[in-house]
Structure 1
Amino acid sequence: MADIRAFRGFRYDLGKVGELSHVVAPPYDVIDEALQQKLYDLSPVNAIRVELTKPEEGDDEDNNRYTRAGQTMRDWLASGAVTQDTARSLYVYEQEFTAEGQTFTRRGFFARVRLEPFGEGKIYPHEQTMSGPKADRLNLYRATNFNLSPVFGLYPDDDGEVFAKLEPLIRKSPPRVATDHLGVVNRLWVVTDQATISQVIGLMGPKSVFIADGHHRYETGVKYLEEQRAAGQVPDDEAAPNFCLMMLVGMSDPGLIILPTHRLVSGLPPITSDRLQELLKDLFTIDHVGDDATAAWEHVQMDGSQLCLGFGTVADGKWVVAKLRDPAAMDGVAPDQSAEWRGLGVSILHKLVLDRIIKDAVGGEAKCQYVHLLKEVTDAVAAKSCQLACLVPPAEMEHVESIAGNLEKMPPKSTYFYPKLLTGLVYNSLKKD
Structure 2
Amino acid sequence: MPEIRPFRGVRYDLARVGDLSKVVAPPYDVIGPDLQRKLYDDSPHNVIRLELGRDEPGDDDRTNRYSRAAKLLKDWRREGVLADESHPSLYVYHQTFEVEGKVHTRKGFMARVRLEPFGQGKIYPHEETMSGPKADRLKLYEATGFNLSPVFGLYPDPGNGALTAVEAGIRDRTPLTVTDHLGVENRLWPVSDVEVLSAVQGLMAEKPVFIADGHHRYETAVRYRDLRAEAGELTGPDDPANFCLMMLVSMSDPGLQILPTHRLASGYPGLTAQKLAELLSPEFDLEDFGEGPSGCRACWQEMELDGSQNLIGFGTVADGRWTLARLRSDATMDALVPEHSPDWRSLGVSILQELVYKKLLSGLGFPERTYVHLIDEVLAAVDSRSCDLACLVPPAGMEHVEAIASNLEKMPPKSTYFYPKLLTGLVLNPIR
Same fold, TM-score > 0.5, yes or no: yes
User: For residue 347 of structure 1, what is the aligned residue in structure 2?
Assistant: 350
What code does the residue aligned with 1:362 have?
A: L
* Aligned mates of 2:141, 2:336 — CA distance in 1: 39
Alignment partner of 1:321 is 2:324: yes
* Aligned mates of 1:222, 1:261 — CA distance in 2: 29
Aligned residues of 1:111 and 1:246 also touching (Cα < 8 A): yes
Alignment partner of 1:407 is 2:408: yes
Which runs of structure 2 are paired with 1:92-111 in the superposition (5 Å)? 92-111=92-111
* Aligned mates of 1:24, 1:388 — CA distance in 2: 37
* Aligned mates of 1:22, 1:94 — CA distance in 2: 19
Aligned residues of 2:98 and 2:104 also touching (Cα < 8 A): yes
Which runs of structure 2 are paired with 1:42-81 in the superposition (5 Å)? 42-81=42-81
* Aligned mates of 2:203, 2:24 — CA distance in 1: 31
Which runs of structure 2 are paired with 1:16-415 in the superposition (5 Å)? 16-292=16-292, 293-359=296-362, 361-363=363-365, 365-415=366-416
Q: How much is the aligned-residue C-alpha RMSD, in angstroms?
A: 1.3
Aligned residues of 2:269 and 2:318 also touching (Cα < 8 A): no
* Aligned mates of 2:57, 2:215 — CA distance in 1: 31
What code does the residue aligned with 2:364 have?
A: V
Q: Greater CA deviation, 213-222 or 308-317?
A: 308-317
Moved over 6 A (4+): none
* Aligned mates of 1:74, 1:336 — CA distance in 2: 50
Aligned residues of 1:288 and 1:322 also touching (Cα < 8 A): no
What code does the residue aligned with 2:152 have?
A: F
TM-score (norm 1): 0.96
C-alpha deviation, 1:22, in angstroms: 1.3
For residues 195-238 of structure 1, what are the alpha-carbon distances to aligned partners after superposition, in whole Å with 9 as ceiling and x for unaligned? 11011001100000011111111111111111111222212121
What code does the residue aligned with 2:320 have?
A: G
* Stretches of structure 2 lacking an aligned partner (at least 5 in a row): none
C-alpha deviation, 1:324, in angstroms: 0.5
* Aligned mates of 1:188, 1:37 — CA distance in 2: 26
What code does the residue aligned with 2:31 have?
A: I
* Stretches of structure 1 lacking an aligned partner (at least 5 in a row): none
C-alpha deviation, 1:382, in angstroms: 2.1
For residues 67-87 of structure 1, what are the alpha-carbon distances to aligned partners after superposition, in whole Å with 9 as ceiling and x for unaligned? 222222122112111111121
For residues 337-370 of structure 1, what are the alpha-carbon distances to aligned partners after superposition, in whole Å with 9 as ceiling and x for unaligned? 10001000011011111122111x222x322211
Aligned residues of 2:6 and 2:89 also touching (Cα < 8 A): yes
C-alpha deviation, 1:169, in angstroms: 2.0
* Aligned mates of 1:229, 1:195 — CA distance in 2: 33
* Aligned mates of 1:260, 1:429 — CA distance in 2: 34
What code does the residue aligned with 1:36 have?
A: Q
Counterpart secondary structure, 2:258: strand
Query: How many residue pairs are counted as aligned between the two chains?
Result: 429
* Aligned mates of 1:237, 1:169 — CA distance in 2: 28
Counterpart secondary structure, 1:332: helix
Aligned residues of 1:309 and 1:345 also touching (Cα < 8 A): yes
* Aligned mates of 1:280, 1:149 — CA distance in 2: 43
* Aligned mates of 2:63, 2:128 — CA distance in 1: 32
